[in-house]
Amino acid sequence: MTYVVTDNCIRCKYMDCVEVCPVDCFYEGDNMLVIHPDECIDCGVCEPECPAEAIKPDTEPHLDAWLKLNADYAVKWPNITVKRDAPADAKDLDGEEGKLEKYFSPEPGQGD
C-alpha cells in the first residue's frame, strides 16, 4: 500500500505535505508533486495536511492511473522536502475538474 497524489494537487501545489513526511518521499514536478510508492511507509500523516485534499490511500477505488503516474514521475522528478509558497492562483484552481487533461506538465520542478 501507498499514498497517492491526485488531480487536485495540479496547480494548487500547496506543499504542506512535504514538511510532514518522515521519509521524504515527495518528488516535485512543474505544477504538482508525487509520492514514490516504494518509499512511502503508509503512515498517513500527509493526507490531512493537504488543503486541497489531493492525497489519498491507494486502497480507495479508481486510483490505478494515479498510482502509475506517481510511480512514473517519482523516478523522473527531483526530491522535495522544503515547502515553498503555493502558486498565487492556487485557491482559484482548487476543486476544478479535469486538471490532468487541462494542465498536467511532465516537466520537473526545481526540488530542494
Q: Name the residues that contact ligand SF4, by CB under 6 A.
A: 3, 20-21, 23, 25, 35, 40-46
- Our CB check for ligand SF4 shows the closer of 41 and 65 to be 41
Binding-site member from 9, 40, 69, 93 for ligand F3S (CB under 6 A): 9
Distance of CA 97 to the CA centre of its chain: 16
Instruction: Please state the closest distance from residue 36 (CB atom) to ligand F3S, in A.
Output: 14
Q: To the nearest 5 percent, what fractions of the chain are helix, strand and coil?
A: 30, 15, 60
Distance CA 64, CA 72 (A): 12
Pairing of strands 3-5, 55-57: antiparallel
List, in sequence order, every residue forming a beta bridge with 28; answer none if it has no partner.
33
Determine if 12 is a binding residue for ligand F3S (CB under 6 A): yes
Distance CA 69, CA 83 (A): 22
**Beta carbons of 112 and 15 less than 8 angstroms apart:** no
**Of 50-69, which residues contact ligand F3S (CB under 6 A)?**
50, 52, 54-55
Instruction: Please state the closest distance from residue 23 (CB atom) to ligand SF4, in A.
Output: 5
Site stretch for ligand F3S (CB under 6 A), options 14-22, 59-67, 95-103, 104-112:
14-22
Instruction: Please state the closest distance from residue 92 (CB atom) to ligand SF4, in A.
Output: 26
